[in-house]
Amino acid sequence: MSHIPPSEYLINRELGILEFNRRVLAQAEDETTPLLERLRFLCITSSNMDEFFEIRVAGLKEQMRLSPQHTGIDGLTARQVYKEVAKVAHALVARQYQLLNDEVLPALAQEGIRFHRRTHWTPEQADWIREFFFNDLMPVLTPIGLDPAHPFPNVLNKSLNFAVELAGKDAFGRSSGKAVVQAPRSLPRVIQLPKEIAGCEHGFVFLSSIIHAHVGELFAGMQVQGCYQFRVTRNSDLFIDDEENKNLREQLQGELPHRHFGDAVRLEVADNCSEDMKAFLLQQFHLTRDDLYQVRGPVNLVRLMNVPDRVERPDLKFAPFTPGLPPQLAQQEDLFKAISAGDILLHHPFQTFQPVIDFIRQAAEDPNVLAIRQTVYRTGTDSELMRHLIKAAQRGKEVTVVVELLARFDEEANINWAEKLEAAGAHVIYGVVGHKTHAKMALVVRREEGRLKRYAHLGTGNYHARTARLYTDFGLLTCQPELCQDMNDVFQQITGLGDAGEHTYLWQSPFTLHPNIVKAIRHETERAKNGEKAVIVAKMNALLEPKVIAALYEASQAGVQIDLVVRAVCALRPGIPGVSENIRVLSILGRFLEHHRVFYFWNGGAEDIYLASADWMDRNFFRRIETCFPVLDPKLKKRVINEGIKPYLKDNTKAWEMQPDGSYKKRARRGRAFEAQAFLLNLLTAKS
């Protein structure tokens, strides 16, 4: 096989993402999922689809405009992909709202959690809602009648709006017949009614229902013929000119506001929207019928995400848990002593993220610590870890933080942290232009007995305490000298200028990670050709890079047994006779977002284990700074195998098996039910 597989052996990325979102939606369909969590999964599906349109569909539209004849590695033009995407996306959205209206909302109502529709309000509810409208909504609503003096307003990305059809003339004799009402983002999209008014334990009303019911109050003397909620999704990719860029932060700060007003890529309207208004809105946003999504319910479904948190019904949610603590840390609070005694593996969210925060806190407070270096990709707007870095800088320690300003949708938070760090006296580096810094690493330099010693944390996930309770990730605390030296060299590459150099243990993008992954795959291939046992297991979020896929196909043909656990999109087709019959692809979806990257190579029984910040995608290999590191301690290596590989290969409850055509089927259950995440919760969390 050539270095790049034939197009018929590759799955299109956009269609693969939609297949992933089908599997997310299936969590909401699953009646064994707690009811409020089913609602949450519906919202997660909406959030995923928003980003899909903002980035992937927006990219397809750009390709259709700029290079319509160009085909991707799957052999399809952008227009061909877009047509298929539109068909699949419309079906997925229709199923989503069918599930909301026909199953989830009725089931919630039976549990005393009701969303009151305006056609069913009691007189008491109508009075309360009317008062709420006049006191809390009407003062902040601005109706815009459309005429030559009031052109169609600039509608914010993903904002809630109402298109109103009117009859009659206003005070100035105007009668354009159309108006727009924009709902300020500060307004809640779901309003909770007092219990005595709701008539149930938890009663809610959609903001859209309240505005629909009282929109006539905004147009005195005119008759409302129709009121239709709508929402437009816009291209949210940021344009940063690498050649013209003199100051990345300044250019990014100038670009961020434009994200709200990029080119429209999708229009969502209520299912009762008139044909005339649909045509009018499509014309305003320069969209076609393929871009129109009519929905039976709120167009901004993602804004229901906080409803489960507002309802005190533990019986309708996932059971709470207390993350566990590795035994080495249970007996030793001094992290530097604990790490000196041996490497420590953390498995989130089953084990607590607190030791990572404590690592930076103790470094900030310890007078013997001279320097701290850390990468930051996503950390959140309220980060205890970042506050410790700021305190360390204020105490005069040498603090260097590589802040990735182009972490999508976290740009503003990262700019704010960068400014605070600089104000405290830290060195803030914005990485390398053209290469996002996606590596997760922290390095501490400490004076001990007259010499300097390095301590380090390496991880597969972000330094984000909240997502560390939601995402599965591994983290390693170590003082292994060669590994720490490798990390120091990477930091020097980023902050200074110079050659890549050779590392003892680290594989690094964009230099050595891709060739070393391909080399390891080919090493197993050669062993298989020689009649030896050969096994590859890789767990990641996405697999797209064609040369790695080609190497895996060659390995399969040689007889290597390959198991891939790929949460989201996988371009490789498993099970093709003569090509990939020795490859199995699983996708695990459950309570937690599967996020760790684990690579296993049998290597003649040595069982090499690597953990990484990188997926097997072009961007991770060639356009990002990533790290991949071996697990050297035999006990910890065994832990990774027993916690990060074996349970996922055994899962027959939350596992989906990829078919050769790119579709997925729920894995057939043989024998007793086994769920990887439930097993790990039982194994690693704190026992009460």
Q: How far is 298 from 502, CA to CA, in rounded Å?
A: 55
438 catalytic? Reply is yes
Strands 664-666 and 655-658: antiparallel
**Residue of 116, 202, 438, 503 with catalytic role:** 438
The CA–CA distances, whole Å, from 595 to 404, 475, 611 equal 19, 12, 11
Which three-class secondary structure string do you get for 142-161? EEEECECCECCCCCCCCCCE
Q: How many whole angstroms separate alpha carbon 75 and alpha carbon 54?
A: 24
In the block, tokens 């309360």 appear at 128
How many other C-beta atoms can be found within 10 angstroms of the C-beta atom of residue 92? 17
Residues 6+ apart with CB under 8 A from 336: 362, 366, 446, 455
**Across-strand partners of 616?**
543
Find where tokens 């959030």 sit: 47
* Distance from chain centroid for Cα 164: 35
One-letter amino acid for residue 490 of the chain: V
Indicate the DSSP class of residue 351.
B
Would you say 543 and 566 are in contact if contact means Cβ atoms under 8 Å apart?
A: yes
The per-residue DSSP string of 154-202 comes to -PPTT--EEEEEEES--TTS---SEEEEEPPTTS-SEEEEPHHHHTSSE
The Cα-based distances of 670 to 26, 585, 650, 674 in angstroms read 21, 18, 10, 10
For the record, the structure tokens of 318 come out as: 């996932």
Beta strands in 290-419 (DSSP E): 292-295, 344-348, 369-376, 398-403
Cα–Cα distance measured from residue 228 to residue 162, given in angstroms and rounded to the nearest whole number: 5
The Cα–Cα gap between 674 and 671 comes to 9
Q: How many CB atoms lie within 10 A of CB 489?
A: 18
- Residue 671 class from Cβ within 10 Å (0-12 exposed, 13-18 middle, 19+ buried)? exposed
**Among candidates 289, 285, 116, 96, which has minimal Cα distance to 198?**
116
If we measure between CA atoms, which residue out of 213, 206, 171 comes closest to residue 189?
A: 206
Tokens 């699953």, residue located: 30
Can you tell me whether residue 266 is helix, strand or coil? strand
Q: Which amino acid is at 361?
A: R
DSSP H helical ranges for 559-612: none
- Alpha-helical (H) ranges within 178-234 are 195-198, 207-214
Instruction: Return d(Cα 281, Cα 64) in angstroms, integer.
Output: 22
Distance CA 304, CA 190 (A): 7
H/E element, 427? strand 427-429
One-letter amino acid of 632: L
Nearest Cα to Cα of residue 405 among 370, 376, 363: 376
Report the alpha-carbon distance of residue 428 to residue 374 in Å, rounded.
10
The total of other beta-carbon atoms located within 10 Å of residue 106's CB is 11
CA separation for the pair 495, 212 (Å, rounded): 56
Residue keyed to tokens 């014309």: 283
H or E stretch including 520?
helix 513-529
Task: For residue 323, say if its preceding peptide bond is cis, omega within 30 degrees of 0.
Answer: no
Asked if 187 contacts 170 with a C-beta cutoff of 8 angstroms, the reply is: no
- Known catalytic residues? 438
